Structure 1
Amino acid sequence: MALESNEFPDKSISKFESMLKTDDIYFFDAEDFEEIIHHYLNNGKISLGKKAIQIGLEQHPNALELKLLHVEVLVFEDKYEEAGRLLDQLQDIDSRNEEIYIQRANIQSKQDNHQEAVNLLLEALQITEDSFDIHSLLGMEYLFMDDFEQAKRSFIKCLEFDDKDYSSLYNVVYCFEFLEDFDGAIHYLNEYLERNPYCEVAWHQLGKMYCTKNMYTEALAAFDFAIISDDSFIGAYFEKGKVLEKLGKYNEAIENYETTISIEDPTSHAYLRIGRCHEKLGNNDLAKYYYYNTVHEDPLLDKGWLAITDFHYKLENYEKALYYINKAINIDGENPLYWKKCAKIYLALNNFDEADFAYKQTVDLGNYELGTWKNWADVLKKIGDFGSSIQVLVQGLEFYPESAELTYKLAGIYLKNNEIIKAKEKLAQAMQMDIEKFQLFEEEFPELNKIKWLQTLVSEIKKTST
């Protein structure tokens, strides 16, 4: 029994699914099959989409659009050769169909042949007037190729077709940012806003661009316009709060962060920023309250744990600071920032063995900051393990070969370890790098300044440097 297609897509989908459960055969127009297939593909129901394609082609064996959807599924499943053969057949039938070029470009893109994909999309542009989708695809291909200038132009073209396409707008701003052309971004967004004065997304992005230029007055105005355009736009309130923080207007910043909480469910980031504002205002109890809420809301947010740890560290509550950083480490033991903070606390508690272990974990997990090498070497020096301290400094100098500070420290440790020749070599090297930082050496190793040959060496180098 064949039934006529229903003109409403939802009913067509219901009828199609009913057909699959029965032995009845329902007839659908090719356009209805397209709607059904798009529905399944857009919702990730690939197997049902494939079934609809199969039945659709049985009822409409010459339907070009259904065959192109078949190609789309083949490409999704990485069946490039089969898709290519079907595209060859379709091109013999209709060589002026831009979708054929788009699917060929899709195949090339998925195989990382992005320049070839671009070439195919440019061919598609020659045969179609409705080129919004092609410019969007071109933009993405240029992004894959790190050609941000061309990508920017493609996304700007998309906005010429549809100035409400916020995905393209975000991509345009992203390209400007990557090119570090903040002035260009500001100019473009202002032009865009002349055409779309109530676009909260553009005002929000403009405010962020002003922030990169430290133009905080302009940024605040932009965020205010974003809020006027959409008074429930959380991002604008949040960014406005960050600017007010930078200007030291902590109470006003708190008001904006609290607004974000009143609009939607509280976020750990809002709690964290409110806590920091209260800490700056000296409201320690409120700061602590919001920090605790931060880690309760998102136990994996490292900034929350670091904030509550720093809060207690500044108050010299080292045991409490240690308690909270250890809780963080128990949650995420692979976070080098946690271990670095842990080492700093152990150092304050004069627990040098644990500090040594924490710094080792910090480096093993990929934190190679200058301060990490310097502080770790200091801990080992305090333990009296000069050999290990030397190893740490030598390793640190591999990352910072021009660091006079590390070189002076290494010279001093060599001296304390009675490696005189190496000490002389490193001291001379450090003084050639930066003679003014010799005072750091004198402050750290005052007991070594009485050595006669050291005084002579310093005197000679100072003479040659003047």
Structure 2
Amino acid sequence: MDRNDFFNNGIEEKVRNFESLLASGDNFFFDTDELEEIIDYYLDFDEFVKANKAIKYGLSIYPFEIFYQLKLAEVAIARKDIKKAIKILEAAKAVEPNNAEIAKTLGDCYSITMQHKRATDCYLFALNQGLDKEEMYLRLARIHYLINNPRKAMSYINSIPSDYVFDEFALQEFIKLFFDFAQYKQALAFLKKVLDEDPYNYSAWYFKGLTFQKIEDYKNAISAFEFCIAIDENNTMGHLGKGNSLMELKNYEDAINSFKLSLDNDVSDAEVLCNIAECFENMENYSSSKYYYLRAIKTDKYLSDAYFGLAMIYKKQNKLRDAEKNLQKAIDLDSFESIYHIELAEVYLLIENKDRCFFHYQQAYDIDPDTTEIVLDYAHAYFDFKDTEKAIELLESHLDNYNDDFRISYRIASYLFTLGRYENGYNYLHSALQQKPTEYFLLYEYAPFLENMENVTNIIDLYTQRTND
């Protein structure tokens, strides 16, 4: 939340008066409603020490007001001290056993700590006490998805009255639930129910488009986003969603038009400008692509993807120093994106800077050790720098991690044959063919001379014929 949202509500003066009271003991009186505003202000901006001071001040005036115990628990939850929050809430529950807000918040704590039965009991109690039913149904559904009981989860969602009007926030919470558990079919059924009751619900059509995107049904996604645009053509989200779907269908010109209609003239435009640049890049219109990447950087100089995209243009144009400079800038902004390091390593491979090449492959591997392609590329850098033994050593050291990936065995075999170490090469070739005989061409990719070796082709034929039989 923007601080201006608070200031526009007059909270700035209340906070200033409260802090003046703490600093000098000035005589100000705050009722519970005012203190709630002040506490929420501090919580929204993670000013937990000040929030606690406001809560303690409230308790000094209203010692029996359970509201402040709830706020103490909120601070503990925000600080990820769930054990403390539970202790506070259980004590408050002993004082007001029928308080639905205490039950709901306690349920949230038990849910976080994976105590699903206790969480369910708390939510059901809050539900029976008449607390916001839709909110409780959402929480109960999430719990039952977590314990792998989707049928029960859907029963709670279906308990929501058909005439309930979902606002954007409520829809977002329910769709997030479906997306978190990859329940896309259920999401579409839920949205159909919402739209049957409220056919001009912009948010419902928008989330329907997002759901179709999740299942890669981009044509239906476009149709849903077009309904958004028909309802409110000035809302840019529909244009953005349509642009993303058109881009996935490689309809780049129409995607660009949609993206342009989604621009809001603020910093959020930077990512959209990157999308436009990527469309031009895919159309091999590099001058336009570069122009939009530069516009994205001008809009948001901290957007690492813009520098990365610009670097890829320079790399395609063989302007390797410019590519290096922009990739390094992207890494400076986001050093935990493995693809940035991989691409910079490739640039250093091309300009024959061995040490920097290996350094960035190692960085990529450290960030994303489960991705086989990184190890394969790393090994091939050693191969290109004429250190085939080191390439083999690197791949063999990772065999245990990737023992089910046939590509490793094919690659080691090709390197061994290149060195003339045929016995070991045949062993790895047999291993690779046992795993995936139809991918034998991977052997020739890095050792093309093997296509003319009868012993090798006979072994391959033996395995591929078995597969065909």
Whether the TM-score (by the shorter chain) exceeds 0.5 is: yes
Give matches, 1:382-421, under 5 Å: 382-417=384-419, 419-421=421-423
Query: Is the Cα–Cα contact under 8 Å of residues 414 and 444 in structure 2 kept in the other structure?
Result: no
C-alpha distance in structure 2 between counterparts of 1:178 and 1:107, whole Å: 19
**What secondary structure does 1:43 align onto?**
helix
CA RMSD of aligned residues (A): 4.0
- 1:268 CA drift (Å): 1.6
- 1:238 CA drift (Å): 0.7
Query: Is the Cα–Cα contact under 8 Å of residues 156 and 172 in structure 1 kept in the other structure?
Result: no
- 1:205 CA drift (Å): 0.6
For 2:58, which of 52, 63, 70 is the aligned residue?
A: 52
1:381 aligns with 2:383: yes
- 1:270 CA drift (Å): 1.0
Give matches, 1:14-25, under 5 Å: none
C-alpha distance in structure 2 between counterparts of 1:431 and 1:216, whole Å: 37
- 1:242 CA drift (Å): 1.6
Query: Is the Cα–Cα contact under 8 Å of residues 438 and 464 in structure 2 kept in the other structure?
Result: no
Distance 1:425 1:154, change over 3 A: same
Give matches, 1:58-457, under 5 Å: 66-74=65-73, 76-77=75-76, 78=84, 80-81=86-87, 83-88=89-94, 90-91=95-96, 96-99=98-101, 101-102=103-104, 104-105=106-107, 108-109=110-111, 112-128=114-130, 131-139=133-141, 141-142=143-144, 150=152, 153-154=155-156, 157=159, 162-262=164-264, 264-265=266-267, 267-351=269-353, 354-417=356-419, 419-442=421-444, 444-447=446-449
Deviations, residues 255-295 of structure 1 (Å, cap 9, x unaligned) = 32223324545522111011123334454322111112223
Residue range with higher mean Cα deviation, 199-208 or 383-392: 383-392
- 1:149 CA drift (Å): 5.6
Distance 1:149 1:392, change over 3 A: farther
Query: Is the Cα–Cα contact under 8 Å of residues 327 and 344 in structure 2 kept in the other structure?
Result: yes
C-alpha distance in structure 1 between counterparts of 2:248 and 2:461, whole Å: 47
C-alpha distance in structure 2 between counterparts of 1:24 and 1:464, whole Å: 91
- 1:178 CA drift (Å): 4.0
**What secondary structure does 2:209 align onto?**
helix
**What secondary structure does 2:403 align onto?**
coil
**What secondary structure does 1:261 align onto?**
coil
C-alpha distance in structure 1 between counterparts of 2:332 and 2:281, whole Å: 26
1:39 aligns with 2:37: yes
| Aligned residues between the structures | 442
- The residue type paired with residue 38 of structure 1 is E
C-alpha distance in structure 2 between counterparts of 1:311 and 1:234, whole Å: 28
C-alpha distance in structure 2 between counterparts of 1:452 and 1:356, whole Å: 36
Distance 1:254 1:384, change over 3 A: closer
Percentage identity across paired residues of the two chains? 19
Deviations, residues 196-238 of structure 1 (Å, cap 9, x unaligned) = 2222111101112233444444323321222333333222111
Q: In the alignment, what sits opposite 2:79?
A: none
- 1:116 CA drift (Å): 0.5
- 1:40 CA drift (Å): 2.9
**What secondary structure does 1:164 align onto?**
coil
- 1:432 CA drift (Å): 3.1
C-alpha distance in structure 2 between counterparts of 1:375 and 1:223, whole Å: 40
Distance 1:34 1:287, change over 3 A: same
Unpaired runs of 5+ residues, structure 2, are 1-9, 43-50, 77-83
C-alpha distance in structure 1 between counterparts of 2:450 and 2:160, whole Å: 69
- 1:148 CA drift (Å): 5.9
Query: Is the Cα–Cα contact under 8 Å of residues 437 and 460 in structure 2 kept in the other structure?
Result: no
Deviations, residues 439-466 of structure 1 (Å, cap 9, x unaligned) = 4434533556777876786687678777
Deviations, residues 345-391 of structure 1 (Å, cap 9, x unaligned) = 23344555543343233213325433333232222223332221112
Query: Is the Cα–Cα contact under 8 Å of residues 339 and 358 in structure 1 kept in the other structure?
Result: yes
Distance 1:159 1:393, change over 3 A: farther
**What secondary structure does 1:397 align onto?**
coil
- The residue type paired with residue 335 of structure 1 is E
C-alpha distance in structure 1 between counterparts of 2:411 and 2:132, whole Å: 67
- The residue type paired with residue 238 of structure 1 is L
C-alpha distance in structure 2 between counterparts of 1:183 and 1:374, whole Å: 37
Deviations, residues 383-404 of structure 1 (Å, cap 9, x unaligned) = 3322211122224433432443
C-alpha distance in structure 2 between counterparts of 1:448 and 1:278, whole Å: 40
Query: Is the Cα–Cα contact under 8 Å of residues 106 and 119 in structure 2 kept in the other structure?
Result: yes
Distance 1:437 1:101, change over 3 A: closer
Distance 1:456 1:133, change over 3 A: closer
- 1:336 CA drift (Å): 1.8
Distance 1:415 1:72, change over 3 A: same
Please tell me whether Structure 1 or Structure 2 has the larger radius of gyration of its CA atoms: 1
Distance 1:423 1:69, change over 3 A: same
C-alpha distance in structure 2 between counterparts of 1:342 and 1:19, whole Å: 56
Query: Is the Cα–Cα contact under 8 Å of residues 204 and 236 in structure 1 kept in the other structure?
Result: yes
**TM-score normalised by structure 2 residue count:** 0.77
Deviations, residues 77-118 of structure 1 (Å, cap 9, x unaligned) = 436445534432x34xxx554345445535545655332121
Distance 1:159 1:37, change over 3 A: farther
Distance 1:394 1:238, change over 3 A: same
- The residue type paired with residue 394 of structure 2 is V
**TM-score normalised by structure 1 residue count:** 0.78
Distance 1:287 1:458, change over 3 A: closer
Distance 1:146 1:408, change over 3 A: same
Unpaired runs of 5+ residues, structure 1, are 1-8
Distance 1:111 1:419, change over 3 A: same
- The residue type paired with residue 54 of structure 1 is S
C-alpha distance in structure 1 between counterparts of 2:290 and 2:109, whole Å: 54
Distance 1:225 1:116, change over 3 A: same
C-alpha distance in structure 1 between counterparts of 2:419 and 2:216, whole Å: 49
C-alpha distance in structure 2 between counterparts of 1:328 and 1:283, whole Å: 22
C-alpha distance in structure 1 between counterparts of 2:450 and 2:226, whole Å: 61
C-alpha distance in structure 2 between counterparts of 1:25 and 1:319, whole Å: 64
- 1:407 CA drift (Å): 1.4
